[in-house]
């Protein structure tokens, strides 16, 4: 988080220097602003690391859901898990598009600096960084449009009880986690109800940390998973 803040701060300072230099034609500030554009590259690299990590989290979850689909006990359960898989797949596509945009920006930004500062010493096509940057911008725009489609069409129409269906498909793992935590957290001080509530809270944290459904759903659907777990996985009518 500190690296992201520092990168954003440097880009902000560079934009101010560049604006002042262009308005008042100050050559020294133009040179400083020219080199200060390099921090934008660090921001693109940091974004790439984040998106790569998210991509692997989503693909792992998608594979796990594939196994849950095959082992579902009924047709309705199988269809519900497939729905979750489809949403997960849209997030994989969105993350891939954003990753391509970030990687292209990470290549185009320093290459552009090199071309502008040392173009006479390079044998590469001087227009190539521009086309890479244009592709990065185009991919960013497409991923933004796709995000709105996923947010307001795909995820908006999900079943409100989706959290319950997801938890039921992972019931064996959740109950095993609960039993393990129950043995570790047992004491003679708190009442049984308090201990049970705390155990389910820790179980919810462990489950959501392991499977990371927060990378797939918006806050409302993700919250329904958390609520169902904290309620002890008692079916609602």
pLDDT in tens, 106-165: 888 777 766 665 556 666 667 787 888 888 888 889 989 998 888 888 777 777 777 888
Q: For residue range 165-224, what is the model confidence (pLDDT) as tens digits?
A: 888 888 888 888 888 877 666 666 667 777 778 888 888 888 888 888 888 887 767 788
Got the DSSP string for 24-87? HT-HHHHHHHHHHTTHHHHHHHHHHHHHHHHHHHHHHHHHHHHHHHHT-SSHHHHHHHHHHHHH
Mean pLDDT computed over 30-47: 69
Got the DSSP string for 150-184? IIIIITTTS-TTHHHHHHHHTHHHHHHHHHHHHHH
- Read off φ and ψ for residue 74, nearest 5 degrees: -140, 165
The dihedral over CA atoms of 9, 11, 12, 14, expressed in degrees to the nearest 10, equals 120
Residue 120 CB neighbour total at 10 angstroms: 6
Mean pLDDT computed over 21-50: 69
88 contacts 61 by C-beta, under 8 angstroms? yes
């Amino acid at each position: 988080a500190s690296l992201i803040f520092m990168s954003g701060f440097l880009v902000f300072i560079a934009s101010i220097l560049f604006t002042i230099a262009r308005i008042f034609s100050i050559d020294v500030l133009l040179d400083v602003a020219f080199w200060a554009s390099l921090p934008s590259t660090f921001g693109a690299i940091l974004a790439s690391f984040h998106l790569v990590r998210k991509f692997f989290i989503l693909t792992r979850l998608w594979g796990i859901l594939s196994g849950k689909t095959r082992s579902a006990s009924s047709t309705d359960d199988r269809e519900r898990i497939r729905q979750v898989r489809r949403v997960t797949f849209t997030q994989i596509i969105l993350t891939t598009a954003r990753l391509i945009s970030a990687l292209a920006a990470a290549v185009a930004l320093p290459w552009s600096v090199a071309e502008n500062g040392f173009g006479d010493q390079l044998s590469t096509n001087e227009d190539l960084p521009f086309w890479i940057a244009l592709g990065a911008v185009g991919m960013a725009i497409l991923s933004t449009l796709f995000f709105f489609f996923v947010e307001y069409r795909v995820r908006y129409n999900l079943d409100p009880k989706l959290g319950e269906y997801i938890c039921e498909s992972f019931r064996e793992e959740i109950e095993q986690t609960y039993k393990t935590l129950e043995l570790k957290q047992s004491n003679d001080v708190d009442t049984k109800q308090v201990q049970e509530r705390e155990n389910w809270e820790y179980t919810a944290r462990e489950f959501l940390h392991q499977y990371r459904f927060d990378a797939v759903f918006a806050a409302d659907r993700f919250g329904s998973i958390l609520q169902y777990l904290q309620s002890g996985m008692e079916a609602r009518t």
